[in-house]
Structure 1
């Protein structure tokens, strides 16, 4: 795990110096919001929706809400129901410039760093009828990249690393993130979203 952490941090530093210049289209800066869905979230026992809004200076804010239990976890001998939320600012790395004096490419496009606070609250019920309530929280630093297709759709993939804590050390997956026990509280997250652009 420690070697993975070193590799992850090195990758963040390496990717942050990369930029990509493309042609700037006149109306590419008009749509500043995106409604999103985590494409693979139903396969992990939840369905996650998100919203991103551009603010200024190549910075936006993004929030997600996941409905735990609205999805399918294959061959698991338990049932979980609850919710999680994630929120944080998104800072675009090295904005690409099409020509001198322009703002660059689409405001929502490019590599980014996103500090994020995550909170999960759900009930965990075994099929033998035993149950418990679980609360977990994490502070994550995400690295990701978002592309805009045809000025109507976005694709976003990201990975995150940070600290996570819960009231139940037996759990490792808290839907918004995965985490070790409270003696080694490293947390990890990853995701792939599809979005629709709005004005």
Structure 2
């Protein structure tokens, strides 16, 4: 606490004097001012004040841009909770895309909480960047449940067996999201964590990939594109 005489509370700075020496401090570094008359002035950090993001769309619907090439179509929904935090949920329709396995079908889910780096601003006191824009860390859970046809061949023909797998991974995903004109976004990400599959082996599991069971490391990476809507 600093005992002083406050001479000015500006848009960005607070000016004060101590023993007739003038000082100034960034307003973001001040929690509150307590005046002698008992009045208390409380400040909110400009990077996290809701008023800086009024009019911005806080919901996004995204598509995994390259996921159909891997045999799954992924759709994601993201909702901003507050500046610096959002929730994201994903649905994967396994088998909707390039057929990487015979007769493959199934479903996948992802859910994560984004910790977004403090939003930046273009110029102090002017326009702030979008509430969903920036680099982030996202702990997330990824689940894939699917089956495909496996054929055993014999001299007199072949026999079809349905093989089913369920794979689960706990990931920490790092990414960066760009927002354009409060309407369109691009999200690039990569993640790593631990995973398990009922099949016991590693490889591509549509929503994530697994190393062999003796080394149960999981990974994910991709690009999402999407549209923003709602406030």
Aligned to 1:52: 78
State the distance in 1 between where 2:149 and 2:193 align: 28
Aligned to 1:67: 93
After TM superposition, give the deviation of residue 100 of structure 1 in Å: 4.9
Aligned to 1:174: 205
Aligned to 2:179: 148
Structure 2: runs of 5 or more not aligned: 1-51, 153-159
2:187 alignment partner, SS class: strand
Matched, 1:115 2:146: no
Aligned to 1:43: 69
1:31 alignment partner, SS class: coil
Contact in 1 for aligned 2:109/2:143 (Cα 8 Å): yes
Based on CA coordinates, which of the two structures has the bigger radius of gyration? 2
Contact in 2 for aligned 1:93/1:111 (Cα 8 Å): yes
Equivalences for 1:156-171 in 2 at 5 Å? 156-171=187-202
Equivalences for 1:23-38 in 2 at 5 Å? 29-38=55-64
Q: 2:218 aligns with which of 183, 187, 195?
A: 187
Cα-Cα RMSD: 2.0
CA displacement, residues 3-31 of structure 1 (integer Å, 9 cap, x when unaligned): xxxxxxxxxxxxxxxxxxxxxxx777520
1:43 alignment partner, SS class: helix
After TM superposition, give the deviation of residue 170 of structure 1 in Å: 3.5
State the distance in 2 between where 1:40 and 1:132 align: 25
Q: Could you tell which deviates more after superposition, 182-191 or 165-174?
A: 165-174
CA displacement, residues 57-83 of structure 1 (integer Å, 9 cap, x when unaligned): 41000000000000004xx46331100
State the distance in 2 between where 1:137 and 1:123 align: 15
After TM superposition, give the deviation of residue 104 of structure 1 in Å: 3.7
Aligned positions, number: 172
Aligned to 1:86: 110
Q: TM-score, normalised by structure 1?
A: 0.80
CA displacement, residues 82-130 of structure 1 (integer Å, 9 cap, x when unaligned): 0000001111113213455679410010100011001111112124522
State the distance in 2 between where 1:36 and 1:138 align: 21
State the distance in 1 between where 2:196 and 2:184 align: 35
Q: Could you tell which deviates more after superposition, 81-90 or 123-132?
A: 123-132
State the distance in 2 between where 1:153 and 1:79 align: 35
Name the structure where strand makes up a greater proportion of residues: 2
Name the structure where helix makes up a greater proportion of residues: 1
State the distance in 1 between where 2:71 and 2:191 align: 20
